[in-house]
Amino acid sequence: MDQHLFNQLNKLNTEQRNPDTLDIDLADALTIAKKINDEDKKVADAVSNRLPEIAQAIDWVAQSLAVGGRLLYFGAGTSGRLGVLDAAECPPTFGTQPEQVQGFIAGGEAAMFVAQERAEDSEELGAADLNKLEPNATDVICGIAASGRTPYVHGAIKRAREIGCKTIFVTTVPREQLNLISDAIIDVPVGPEVIMGSTRMKSATAQKMILNMITTGAMIRQGKVYENVMVDLMLTNAKLVERAKRILMTFTSLDYISATQVLDAANGHVKTALVMALTNTNKEEAEAKLEANGGFIRKALSM
């Protein structure tokens, strides 16, 4: 028995009973859906209270990526899966290299599909998984833990601080309930879950929103968005190829055939194709404009 752990959990907001769902076991399907939806509506407002901290995280990640650093997520269970998911979606969405944003979950790859619950109980394992990546001070380490107490995540954050990395900690309990030092703490107390302790619900929704903001914001700051369109996507499937052509047609007077030809001439690089079309230049000239302006299309067009 672990009385200390019991006492910790007993105090956590996410482990309390929700007074608004005490009778959910008696509800019909529509009432269940409504109760869950009513609780989910509270999440966005809770996240809005931590926008300055999220903005700080965006700046740190953008600065890290600009000098060759990485964003490395560490989590367990649902939190870990969300980090892996966010990292996996960056290359096709923003054209990043897979190593630039990575997600790690206690228990390794197997834990993505089948719960490996005890893997989260070791700080040493979190530190060891970080050490395998040979981190340095240019990297940003983001720990994700709904309860705020996951030892695996604490181990990674503590080791990152020893190395000199910037650290971000995302949790859904108030910072007053934390026993961890991190450079930025994004605490979004979402209150008791619909089902007591089921942090795959409101907590996970909040965490997903925050991770979306961090990576999307950092990528915008890297020039990977023009106006409000993702223009650095990788053409890894037929849908993305067609989306790239539509992007070209949206910003230019090109028809479908012409957009296809310009995209081919740019070797499938949408940003280069856009600059080529909008400035009537060839691939090499467009690439030079982008290079001289840090990859920002607006700046490249003003040359």
Options 15, 39, 53, 89, the catalytic residue? 89
Location of structure tokens 């996951």: 150
pLDDT at residue 115 above 70? no
Overall CATH class of domain 9-220: alpha beta
Residue 77 in this model has a pLDDT that exceeds 50: yes
Q: What is the CATH number of domain 226-301?
A: 1.10.8.1080
The Cα–Cα gap between 264 and 269 comes to 8
pLDDT 10s digits, 144-154: 999 998 999 99
251 falls in which pLDDT band (50, 70, 90)? very high
pLDDT at residue 15, as a whole number: 77
CATH 1.10.8.1080 residue ranges for the chain: 226-301
For residue 236, the tally of other CB atoms under 10 A from its CB is 10
pLDDT of 1 over the 60 cut: no
3-state secondary structure 36-81: HHHHHHHHHHHHHCCHHHHHHHHHHHHHHHHCCCCEEEEECHHHHH
d(CA 92, CA 98): 10
Lowest mean per-residue pLDDT among 3-7, 100-104, 213-217: 3-7
Per annotation, catalytic residue among 39, 53, 120, 193? 120
The answer to whether 89 is a known catalytic residue is yes
Q: Band the pLDDT of 159: cuts 50, 70, 90.
A: very high
Please list the residue range(s) of the chain that carry CATH number 3.40.50.10490.
Answer: 9-220
Amino acid 111: pLDDT: 72
* Span 13-26, average pLDDT: 87
What's the pLDDT score for residue 16? 84
Instruction: Provide the token pair at 188.
Output: 């979004």
Higher per-residue confidence, 8 vs 275: 275
